[in-house]
Amino acid sequence: MEEIKQIEFSKLRHAYITVKNFIENESADDLESLKTKIVNDLGLTGDDNYFMLTKFVGKFELEYSDFEYDKHFHSEAELYDSSAALYNLLVVSVWLPLKTIELLTLNMIRIPKPSFYQPARQVSDMTFRDLLTWYIEGKYIPERNVRYAIRQGL
């Protein structure tokens, strides 16, 4: 259930800039929007997102007891264990020659290629907005549960 909370514009602006700068520094990438995803858009997978979140929580002294990492991200072991590496090595040996044929024909010929390893477990990722909400609230709350309305000054 979404709760609408009043917030001063200056506080929202400060939070936005602070969290945006933190994520951009950690990812070495520019944030495009509040919908920018940690894994899918910024490429922070496995230990990269884990260490970034640990640093985020520590730096801003945020409560994290309600946050469930496994709901949002795959662990390093899930993504890069030896069986996944072997599978991807085999896929590359097939994928590369097929992609080469496509490129040599200027993509006039399209060839179905095998997919690289993806863990079976589904995760939801997190967005810039998720982290912004966490920062503002001081504790983890799913962003879909909170909407902010600018408080009108006197």
Burial class of residue 117 (count of CB atoms within 10 Å of its CB; 0-12, 13-18, 19+) = middle
Please give the residue that has the higher pLDDT: either 152 or 85.
85
CA pair distance 139, 65, nearest whole angstrom: 8
DSSP output for 56-97: HHHHTT-B-TT--HHHH---HHHHHSHHHHHHHHHHHHHHHH
Domain boundaries, the chain: 1-73+125-154, 75-122
CA pair distance 154, 152, nearest whole angstrom: 7
For the segment 26-34, the average pLDDT, to the nearest whole number, is: 93
For the segment 33-43, the average pLDDT, to the nearest whole number, is: 95
User: Sorting pLDDT into bands at 50, 70 and 90, what band is 153?
Assistant: low
Of 153, 87, 90, 97, nearest in space to 120 by CA: 87
Which three-class secondary structure state does DSSP give residue 24?
Answer: helix
CA pair distance 78, 80, nearest whole angstrom: 6
For the segment 8-25, the average pLDDT, to the nearest whole number, is: 96
Of 34, 41, 69, nearest in space to 54 by CA: 69
Mean pLDDT is lowest, of 41-45, 86-90, 123-127, 149-153, for 149-153
Strand partners, 3: 146
pLDDT given at position 151: 85
Span 75-128, pLDDT tens digits? 998 888 899 889 999 999 999 999 999 999 999 999 999 998 889 899 999 999
For the segment 34-49, the average pLDDT, to the nearest whole number, is: 95
Span 46-77, pLDDT tens digits? 999 999 999 999 999 999 999 999 999 999 98
pLDDT given at position 44: 95
